[in-house]
Amino acid sequence: MFSVGDEVVYPMHGAGVIQSIEERAVLNEKQTYYIIKMPGEVKVMVPTAKAEEIGVRNVIDGESAQKVMTVLEKDSTEMSMNWNKRYRENMNKMKTGDIFEVADIVRNLSFKQKEKGLSTGEKKMLLNAKQILISELVLAEKRELNEVESAVESKIEKAYEIHANTVKDTIEEGNVVKKLISLN
């Protein structure tokens, strides 16, 4: 059970703080709701009885936040080459509410954006995933928004430099197919 002032995560919106617990009549049915203040001026009403079912959970602790940051430092994980399939797979990851999966999406899509660019849908997904990730890290680490944004971008930049150099080295070593053979 949460109480007023608790920090919570609502997976598809990011992290917020429960401002109050109120009883409201919606469609002539009285229920108790968490009133959650999300990043910006957004407020979300979540029925307390269904909070866990729809993905409301406590914000990660500081130790877990550091582990999330290490996900951003790693090389990208395998993703489908088909943007449509990749989008669906990433959306399913985001829906889990697992912040480590969200960090993986942020890193992978950031790399993809630097290499080839992203579709409009994937650009929106990257922005949403970053917002979810950063909002939770702000609360978990009790740091300022701009400080966390800078740290996330820095980790991604450093990881991408290593990734790009690894790819370059692989090409220079001749471990890449240099000629396409027609199957006709």
What does the pLDDT look like over 159-174, one tens digit per residue?
A: 999 888 876 555 555 5
| pTM of the predicted structure, to 2 decimals | 0.83
Residues listed for the chain: 184
Other Cβ atoms within 10 Å of 85 Cβ, number:
11
- Cα separation of 134 and 39, whole Å? 10
Taking the mean position of all CA atoms in its chain, how far away is CA 147? 17
What is the pLDDT confidence band of residue 180, given thresholds at 50, 70 and 90?
very low
- Cα separation of 169 and 121, whole Å? 32
CATH annotation of 62-172: 1.20.58.1290
- Cα separation of 92 and 117, whole Å? 21
What percent of the residues of the chain are helix, what percent strand, and what percent coil, each to the nearest 5? 50, 20, 30
What does the pLDDT look like over 38-87, one tens digit per residue?
A: 887 889 899 999 998 888 899 999 999 999 999 999 988 888 888 889 99
Q: In degrees to the nearest 10, what's the CA dihedral of 125, 110, 36, 98? A: 90
Range 7-58: architecture per CATH: Beta Barrel (2.40)
Q: Domain residue spans in the chain?
A: 7-58, 62-172
What is the pLDDT confidence band of residue 179, given thresholds at 50, 70 and 90?
very low
Q: Are 93 and 105 in contact (CB under 8 A)?
A: yes
pLDDT at 170: 55
Strand partners, 57: 9
- Cα separation of 88 and 92, whole Å? 6
Q: Are 97 and 143 in contact (CB under 8 A)?
A: no
